Chains A and B, each alone.
Chain A
Amino acid sequence: MPLKTFSGGIHPLEKTHHGKGLSEHLAITKPEAPRRVKLPMAQHIGAPCRPLVVAGDRVLRGQLIGETGGFVSAPVHASVSGAVLSVQPERAIGGQTPLTVTIENDFKDETVEFIPADPAALSREELLKRVAAAGLAGMGGAAFPLHVKLSPPEGTKIDYLLLNGAECEPYLTADHRMMLERGEMILKGAAILKRILDADAAIIGIEANKQDAIANLERLAQGSGIKIQPLRVKYPQGSEKQIIQSLTGRQVPSGKLPAAAGCVVVNVSTAHAVYEAVALGKPLIDRVLTVTGEGIETPANLEVPIGTEISHLIACCGGLKDGSARLVSGGPMMGIAVFEEDLPIVKGSSGILALLHGSQDAHGEGPCIHCGRCSRGCPIHLQPYELYSDMLKKDWAAAEKHGALDCVECGACSYICPARREVTSAIRVAKRQAQALKRK
């Protein structure tokens, strides 16, 4: 089958198989349970949750402990059973300090009763209700509350449900393993999503470096009406706007949501969680993520309770080589630097990387030589070097005119820049300022 793709993009870490060789062959395992979990009340984009427990309460696994703070919000459930140690602001990945419920694990694994249901017997509204109640948020990284995504504005026709199995970030292999090991549930989740959206077609896009996953889903999807589409291996193939272009040839209008292009994109692991939520009645309390990188002793794809501290994950993987590393939450292109080891993983955490200390260029940032590599690599066809200079001039109006608000912050421009300029960071600054200017 011919590979589909988008325009622009780059090929990061091509020589080393995108770093995926470390963990792509490793089956998902459940490591030793953590001693405690920390559950931030803001793990999603949108309004933070209100905690329903206080220190000293005993909670069961799966129990609702944070109720939604608005429509764009996702409830939080306890991921282990045990006693609530504290409810207070704590440091989270990314540096914010949201209200966080810390639970000491009693290792009894006592669980609230999950009420299963037959998806086929439920109406669209009932399906959507179960999705919202389970606290589902995008598991590919952005953690956008799923029920919001599934409720497009009145009168919007969704033609395509697109399932994102691109996993274009180097190193990460969690989605790959999910498609290999839990393909059936992903497909069942996809069928539920398709019904909720009343979409005409459902397509799963997978980068061609995961041939085994493609073959597995093709086999399982026979007769289901869900199409499997191999995609060219190119970064950022799994970016929402890009996978829409790859799979449908459509573009999301500038400043609009994918629904404006008649599409909804859901990560494959999220589709798996949809199946669990709707059919099994299980809220989002566990997730699979990749712990990998050259700095970790034994890379792995782990299924762990949400709220597990990074230090526990590292310990489960044999620790850091020589005790030092650059830790990143997420993939190496868009992930966030981790500055403390005891921060918890959240619903959107797709991986923890331990990279070796940077062999950053000895001479640091050099001057822009206008080589145009950033422009050619930009999947939005912006001129990143131009936005960089807008930032230096603090000309936010120019930055907006030059498309700063359309930037998806994929990092391609910084990766490719021969002068090692922090182009993406510069654009991020310009984008925030241009957004602020626009709100005024």
Chain B
Amino acid sequence: MPTKLSVSLSPHVRGELSTQGIMLRVFIALLPAALMGVYAFGGQALWTLILSTASAVLAEALAQKLLKRPVTAFHDGSAAVTGLLLGLCLPPAVPWYLAVVGSAFAVVIAKQVFGGLGSNFVNPALAGRAFLLACWPAAMTTFIGIDGQTGATPLAYLQSPTDLAAAFGENWRLDAFLGRVPGTIGEVSTLALLLGAAFLLISRIIDWRIPLSYLASLGVLSVIAGVELSASLLLGGVVLSAFFMATDYVTSPASSWGKIVFGLGCGVVNFVIRQWGAYPEGVTYAILLMNVCSPLIERATRPKKYGEVKARA
């Protein structure tokens, strides 16, 4: 019988997890938070999320077509994750075109212009959010409460638990944990975010080092500055960002110590912006700034290779 042989490069077997599989898991991990956002803010939030996700995918496909690159937008899943992430860090009542413009900016300007997946130097979703924050500052910082009333972010009351209690009721801590205190669509329910984060940690998609060092440094500095720990971590977008944005592979260090340095840096910059900056929340700029430092951190935290020892005898 004539046989037909095919050849392959070693290793001749490969692992199961693909880039697509990673993106799919991140997307799934974001769904609890998305659901809680929709539950808290209703149809408008759902519409914003669908719009931001769809625009990211379509804008990436269009950009790839124009740049004569292989169109991967529909199957690699990275644009969908970026779009969903951007939607989750928008206030629920933003005009629809912000979701579209933000997503397009994220995938086209922050990602495709620099070479596409893997070549961007800042987190695309955060770059999109920063762009929106600069262009539409009012719309980006107006939040609706669960009661439908518009108001400022609870972070404005960060310095005083009594003010927080006055604004959101005595049970604001539990409410913030469950998702009954205003915020962006994705950041309302810390519980839902932790659920998704636990899934990513257990399935080893993300590593604990960045989120833990981020939350720890922000928490410790906040407590030193006299801010209640639960207020500093439960309010605002810290949990969403620490687990889902700061852990972005492309824009954070791959080395173990690098991850810790990176996380600590995020926490420190975030604290500084919250404490003394013009914005009530510093998540976006903290991570963007650390993204830029990531290659330097990685170079400084290169692990020692096997064999860097002296010969015996």
Contact = CB atoms under 8 A, between A and B. Distances in A.
Interface in A321-379: 323-328, 332-341, 353, 355, 357-358, 360-361, 363, 366-372, 375, 379
Interface residues of B, number: 44
Interface string B1-44: 11111111111111101110110000000000000000000000
Contact of A324 (B4, B75, B249, B250): B4
Nearest to A364: B70
A260 interface: yes
Contact of A323 (B4, B17, B307): B4
Contacts of B13: 12-13, 170, 332-333, 355, 415
Given A253-B309, A256-B311, A261-B312, A337 B18 contact: no
B72 A326 contact: no
Interface string A169-187: 0100000000000000000
B313 interface: yes
A415 B6 CA distance: 19
A20 interface: no
Interface string B270-313: 00000000000000000000000000000000111111111111
Interface stretch (A62-70, A108-116, A265-273, A416-424): A416-424
B118 interface: yes
Interface string B129-158: 000000000000000000000000000000
**Secondary structure class of chain B's binding surface, majority of residues:** loop
A245 B10 contact: no
Contacts of B249: 369-372
Contact of B305 (A245, A250, A355, A380): A380
A116 to B, nearest CB: 36
B141 to A, nearest CB: 32
Contact of B18 (A12, A338, A361): A361
7 contacts: A262-B312, A325-B5, A358-B6, A363-B75, A368-B118, A370-B250, A415-B14
Contacts of B303: 375, 381
Interface of B: 1-15, 17-19, 21-22, 72, 75-76, 78, 116-119, 249-250, 254-255, 302-313
Range of interface residues on A (Cβ < 8 Å): 35 or more
A406 B255 CA distance: 19
Given A156-B313, A370-B254, A335 B12 contact: yes
Contacts of B119: 367
A323 B3 contact: yes
Contacts, number: 180
A337 B15 contact: no
A424 B11 contact: yes
Of B6, B75, B303, B309, most buried by chain A (CB within 10 Å of CB) is B6
Contacts of B12: 326, 328, 332-333, 335, 337, 353, 355, 358
Nearest to B295: A370
A417 B9 CA distance: 14
Nearest to B251: A370
A47 interface: no
B119 to A, nearest CB: 7
A133 B1 CA distance: 42
B311 A332 contact: no
A360 B9 CA distance: 11
A291 B244 CA distance: 46
A46 interface: no
A62 to B, nearest CB: 33
A411 interface: yes
Contacts of A155: 313
The 8 closest A-B pairs by CB, nearest first: A372-B254, A411-B11, A254-B307, A337-B7, A367-B118, A260-B311, A324-B4, A371-B249
A98 interface: no
Given A170-B13, A369-B19, A357 B6 contact: yes
B213 to A, nearest CB: 16
A159 to B, nearest CB: 8
Contacts of A381: 303-306
Interface of A: 7-8, 10, 12-13, 155-157, 170, 241, 245, 250-256, 260-262, 319-320, 323-328, 332-341, 353, 355, 357-358, 360-361, 363, 366-372, 375, 379-383, 385, 403, 406, 411-412, 414-420, 422, 424-425
B254 A324 contact: no
A380 B302 CA distance: 12
Contacts of B116: 367
A360 B8 CA distance: 10
B78 to A, nearest CB: 8
B174 to A, nearest CB: 36
B118 A415 contact: no
A40 to B, nearest CB: 20
Given A253-B307, A417-B15, 9 more contacts: A262-B312, A325-B3, A335-B10, A336-B10, A341-B5, A360-B14, A372-B249, A380-B305, A418-B18
Nearest to B1: A323
A351 to B, nearest CB: 12
Contacts of B78: 369
Nearest to B78: A369
A366 B19 contact: yes
Nearest to A311: B3
Given A156-B313, A361-B18, A425 B302 contact: no
Contacts of B72: 363, 366
A12 B22 contact: no
Nearest to A368: B118
B294 to A, nearest CB: 9
